[in-house]
Amino acid sequence: MLTFLRRRTLTSLPPLLAVVLGVFVLARLTGDPAALYLPENATAQAREQFSAAHGFDQPIWSQLIDYLAQVARLDFGTSLRTGEPAAVMALRAFPATLQLAVVTMLLACAVATAVGCWAALRPNGLADRVSSLMSVTAASVPDFWLAILGIWVFSIMLGVLPTSGVDAGGLSWVLPIAVLMLRPAGVLTQVVRGAMIAALGSPYVKVARSKGAGEGRVVARHALKNAAPPALTVAGDLAVGLINGAVVVESIFGWPGIGKLMIDSILQRDFAVLQAAVAVTAISIFVLNIAIDLGYALLDSRVRQKVGAAA
């Protein structure tokens, strides 16, 4: 177990580094931030001064080396925009995104499990067809569109939900989560349905029935756990999408998350913040992947054995 974690961490390091370096280089290809941060009629000298102060005049590799040295000391630099430490900004925004992603994924999984199981019990029946169509549709609605529609209907027409923000307690979660959930729930429903159909047709389910197990027991105890791994993989990918890309929903609902921070810092060429934000999300994505592997192991002892043995 520990060796597995150690090994996974080690193999995760090169990609992690690649992501951070990639962001570093790519960000710098988008031009010198001096124009954005200096007054419009700043002198060429002032611009040079600015670039020199932030090291943007150095060749990119030497900036990179400096940066890595900095990061090794856990210093991600300061924001050009706010003057705050970049790491602080990234770590402040991340929990908001994480909470949103976690709740969204949990709900999406719950919905997908319920609907997927229900559809799988009567494959090709009416319920199945309807839920399939709905899940495909759910997965293909543009999120920002839905967000604005949601605000219009639920906040303004019906007046039951706040439009946006985070401080209206539980209610402020409803719309962002509903919007974010739709696609994951749609995609997952299809996966769960497929996996459940396969599981329900398997011999061990027959055996369970031959022991006199009722439908509930068959689904809950026997089929579901076997259907979980494929759903887990897909859920992982969807969660990565949420952690990395809830930009649209965050910016519409004023959710102070990392997606918004990232896009703002890209648009503002606030490299330090961008790098810190990407590092935080990349690390969390790698942690998530490891968690998913462990999840497999938890679900399936065959994998557990491999995980345990991998040294």
* Beta carbons within 10 angstroms of residue 289's beta carbon: 17
Q: Does 85 bind another protein (CB under 8 A)?
A: no
Phi, then psi, of 300 in degrees rounded to 5: -135, 120
Q: Does 182 bind another protein (CB under 8 A)?
A: no
User: Which of 71, 90, 96, 180 lies at the binding interface for another protein (CB under 8 A)?
Assistant: 96
Residue ranges in 114-133 that form contacts with another protein under rule CB under 8 A: 123-125, 128, 133
Considering beta carbons, is residue 58 or 233 the nearer one to another protein?
233
Q: Does 66 bind another protein (CB under 8 A)?
A: no
User: Which of 87, 234, 239, 242 lies at the binding interface for another protein (CB under 8 A)?
Assistant: 234
- Per the CB < 8 A criterion, the answer to whether 207 and 128 are in contact is no
* C-alpha span between 38 and 121 (Å, rounded): 64
Tell me, what DSSP letter sits at residue 212? T
- Rounded to a whole number of angstroms, the minimum distance from the CB of residue 81 to another protein is 4
The first and second tokens of residue 161, run together, are 């939900």
User: Which of 11, 60, 69, 114 lies at the binding interface for another protein (CB under 8 A)?
Assistant: 11
Long-range residue pairs from 50-57, CB within 8 A, at least 24 positions apart, any chain:
54/80, 56/28, 56/32
- Rounded to a whole number of angstroms, the minimum distance from the CB of residue 292 to another protein is 12
User: Which of 115, 177, 282, 292 lies at the binding interface for another protein (CB under 8 A)?
Assistant: 282
Residue ranges in 256-275 that form contacts with another protein under rule CB under 8 A: 256, 261-263, 266-269, 274
* C-alpha span between 261 and 250 (Å, rounded): 9
* C-alpha span between 281 and 265 (Å, rounded): 14
Considering beta carbons, is residue 14 or 59 the nearer one to another protein?
14
